[in-house]
Structure 1
């Protein structure tokens, strides 16, 4: 009897690289819904993950850091409705947070519309002092 293979890519925590106060998470270090199905995603061993098409976009990850929830929405043209800095979305988090795990994700599951063309190179989490 063949083993069941999940259609979703489960994060490999061994892919996360820690350099001082910075965590770099490549695509294979993330949870990607439908990531193991080549009809929807192209995820090479090294290099960016390429979204072919999905109607349920969910990419998530976590690290041992500090947690604070903040939402960034895309408008109908695909632009962020909150300002982003050139280095990415920055969230100030209290150092003495009760939960030491930082959870983050990229989601578009509400519209039911097909999405494609996204490339994910890496997620970078940097602890600011």
Structure 2
């Protein structure tokens, strides 16, 4: 299994055939893996897929091909760590994207009804400034 720069995995089956896999953390921190049109629940995880930036921001991106079913935040909203920001639907499953930390929504790059590809940035989050 090899992780690719776009966040997907290249996996080899027992016959030597290579497949691209997408993984997402779902409800109750289950990890769902999407390979060749099938979704398999494989394990528990404690991390969600986010891309940190050097200036402290994080972007949440689509973990697999999906459709946006709800956008629960707007730019400027203050959110707590673990708050659901966007709901996606893929293969008749609901995929919540959650804030990795307490912060403020800097930008929302999707709308209800959008079909999104893996890796498409959906939300930018800025960490909440701590007061001295």
Please identify which structure carries the higher strand content: 2
TM-score by length of 1: 0.30
Which structure exhibits the higher relative contact order, with contacts defined as CA atoms closer than 8 Å and separated by 6 or more residues?
1
TM (normalized to structure 2)?
Answer: 0.29
